[in-house]
Amino acid sequence: MSELGKIEDGEEMREKIILDTDMLTDCDDLAAMAILHKLADYGEVDILATVVSSKHPKSAAVVDVVNCYYGRGNMPIGAPKNGAGVYKGHSVFLEPVSNEFPHSVMTNETVPDAVYVYREVLSKAADSSVVIVTIGYMSNLAVLLKSEPDGFSELNGCDLVEQKVKHWVCMGGNFPVDSAGDNVNFTRDGEAAFYAINNWPGEIIFVGREIGHNIFIGDRFRSMDESNPVRRAYQLHREKAGKSDWNHHTADPCTILFAVRGLRDYWTMSEYGYLDLKEDCSFEWVESPDGNQRYVFQKMDRGLLGEIMEEVLIK
């Protein structure tokens, strides 16, 4: 493959990632997962688990479809239980993709609690080694932080995160000021977002909506084999929207690219600070050396960033 899509041998130590996706209304979750799998194929990242924050019964099934397509059908999958998570009934692609492609997970009910998966995977990891990436709601993280010691670890959730997690990469927010008018990853489970962000014991790096919502990919997915579930999800999503092309924003794919490859020549980051986050999930960014949060700025040309993501995914 071209140098656009490939990391240099030995350039970076690969990250160990737990991916937490809503997998509900937006096709870019599948593209993000596909990019993560392809980067794992290239030896750039280890995927430890894939969990969902959506209560739609087919969310975990479609995560399993993507895992199976990319040869990782044994990947741990978890889903929210005991009232956690968010349900939004309408999805143009979940039912068709789960019906048309091979997989073994039928519904969210047939997989373990996402927090059970988190605690098991984190307990086995080296200290400060795991990157948690959320491209959806923070439902599972709020419950994880509140979790009690169990058979996996004698630590409560907050202490387990502090010991095992390197940092949390969060897709969400409009920086530097957000009125909460268009920030669904925060507002659809606002209570969880407020709790998780304000109580996280380590570093949080935000990839704001202003990044991916200005970079578009997807039309090249028409060239993919029809056996690819990413192609099918984009077809369903974009045709339902009445679009003549398949290009769609890259909020979630950008987050994956940053989480795996870091800044490189793609991005820069703010100084440390924190979100002055209100209960309605509106916020203002406050720069402070005492903060444990940062957010990403786009550096590379938008078109080139889009080409890099497409190159990784298509080749």
Amino acid residing at 141: L
Q: What is the mean pLDDT of residues 49-68?
A: 98
User: Phi and psi at residue 2, in whole multiples of 5°?
Assistant: -75, 165
CA angle 136, 142, 147 (to 5 degrees): 135
pLDDT of residue 224: 95
Torsion-angle region of residue 173: left (phi > 0), alpha (psi -120 to 50) or beta?
A: left
Whether 98 has a pLDDT exceeding 80, the answer reads: yes
Question: Residue 172 is encoded by which pair of tokens?
Answer: 């969400």
What are the residue boundaries of the structural domains of the chain, listed by start? Answer: 15-314
pLDDT tens digit sequence for 200-249: 999 999 999 999 999 999 999 999 999 999 999 999 999 988 888 999 99
Distance CA 201, CA 310 (A): 35
Q: What is the mean pLDDT of residues 70-92?
A: 93
pLDDT tens digit sequence for 155-165: 999 999 999 99
pLDDT of residue 287: 98
Distance CA 122, CA 144 (A): 11
User: Phi and psi at residue 207, in whole multiples of 5°?
Assistant: -105, 100
| Displacement of CA 172 from its chain's centroid (Å) | 10
pLDDT band at residue 255 using 50, 70 and 90 as cut-offs:
very high
pLDDT of residue 158: 98
pLDDT of residue 6: 42
Question: Residue 42 is encoded by which pair of tokens?
Answer: 């290239």
pLDDT of residue 4: 41
pLDDT of residue 87: 86
Domain 15-314, CATH number (from 3.50.50.60, 3.40.50.2020, 3.90.245.10, 3.40.50.300): 3.90.245.10
Cis peptide before 176 (omega within 30 of 0): yes
The rounded mean pLDDT for the chain is 94
Q: What is the pTM of this model?
A: 0.95
Q: CA–CA distance from 215 to each of 31, 34, 206, 248, 253 (Å)?
A: 13, 17, 17, 8, 10
pLDDT of residue 243: 86
Following DSSP, what letter does each residue of the chain receive, concatenated? --TTS-PPTTSSPPEEEEEEE--SS-THHHHHHHHHHHHHHTTSEEEEEEEE-B--TTHHHHHHHHHHHTT-TT--EEB--TT-SB-----SSHHHHHHHS--S--SGGGS-BHHHHHHHHHHHSPTT-EEEEEES-SHHHHHHHHPPP-SS-SS-HHHHHHHHEEEEEEE---SSEE-SSS-HHHHTTHHHHHHHHHH--S-EEEE-HHHHTT-EE-GGGGGS-TT-HHHHHHHHHHHHTT-SS--EE-HHHHHHHHHHH-STTTEEEPPSEEEEE-TTS-EEEEE-TT--EEEEEE-S-HHHHHHHHHHHHH-
Distance CA 29, CA 35 (A): 10
Distance CA 60, CA 51 (A): 7
CB 118 within 8 A of CB 152: no
Distance CA 30, CA 23 (A): 8
